[in-house]
Amino acid sequence: MRSHHILNAASNLLGVTFVIITGLHLTTDTRHTFADEIALAAAIALTASCFFSYQSIRGGPNWCEAVADRLFLTAQLMLLAAVTTLWQK
């Protein structure tokens, strides 16, 4: 069962997305990059991943774990895109 690992990693990365968004807003770099919007999309995907992972742990339908896994991977790619847009600034 991967759900425990997905939930732990997704919740940790959710915190990272909040740090990215907050840091960009504090430095007012949001005008020059789309990194905060990309990080927000990643935060939404990670929140959904946490939800489906939790549902899988609680004995929900079998497909919940697969959805959580795919959302987690999508969010990781979004975070990579957010960091890449910051790096190219």
* Contact call for residues 84 and 45 (beta carbons, < 8 A): no
Give the pLDDT confidence of 28-78 residue by residue, as tens digits. Answer: 766 777 888 899 999 999 999 999 999 999 988 889 999 999 999 999 999
Report the number of distinct structural domains present in the chain: 1
- Residue-range definition of the domain harbouring residue 56: 3-87
Alpha carbon 38 to its chain's center = 10
- Global pTM reads 0.87
